[in-house]
Amino acid sequence: MLKTRVLLGFVLMAAVFVACEKPAPYDDKAQLEIDDAIIVKYLKDSSVTAVKHSSGLYYNIISPGTGNVVYGDKDSIYARYRLKVLKDTVLRDRSLDSTFVFLLPGYIEGWQTGTRLIQPGGAIRLIIPSALGFKDRAVTSPVIPPNSILDITLEIDKIKHPK
């Protein structure tokens, strides 16, 4: 009886210890390698052409747009987009029917990098590895699972600089 209680106490203490362990930190570099292999296979299998940016982002400039705009953090960017998760290619979110306005700060790294690759009037397809996207976080609206590779088509209509 005493042995059973001691053993049970040990098992409970071990369970508490394991439950209190912190999860391993998110490893951007390791996840980029995993995502890169998935993206390369997807591009090959679907005959999609894309350029790899030094950040790990893959992109295809559909139309470069016009001008020589340098996007600032306070510029209002008027755009339309379509967002899919590469894994299932289900449309998760879009604004192709109407323009939305955004500022670059606060958006995921891949979106910020891709936006800066085109000018107003331009369009780009971005394949964003999860490490440049929402990482290991799940997004609820729209529903995007953790470690999702994003497939975004972005069209920049115009930009307004603050006065």
Question: What is the tens place of the pLDDT at every residue in 97-144?
Answer: 678 888 989 889 999 999 999 999 999 999 999 999 999 988 877 788
Question: What is the tens place of the pLDDT at every residue in 18-27?
Answer: 445 555 677 8
- CB 131, CB 72: distance < 8 Å: no
Amino acid at 132: L
Calculate the dihedral angle through the C-alpha atoms of 132, 154, 84, 95, rounding to the nearest 10 degrees.
130
- Return the SS3 of 80: strand
- Name the pairing type of β-strands 100-102 and 150-160: unpaired
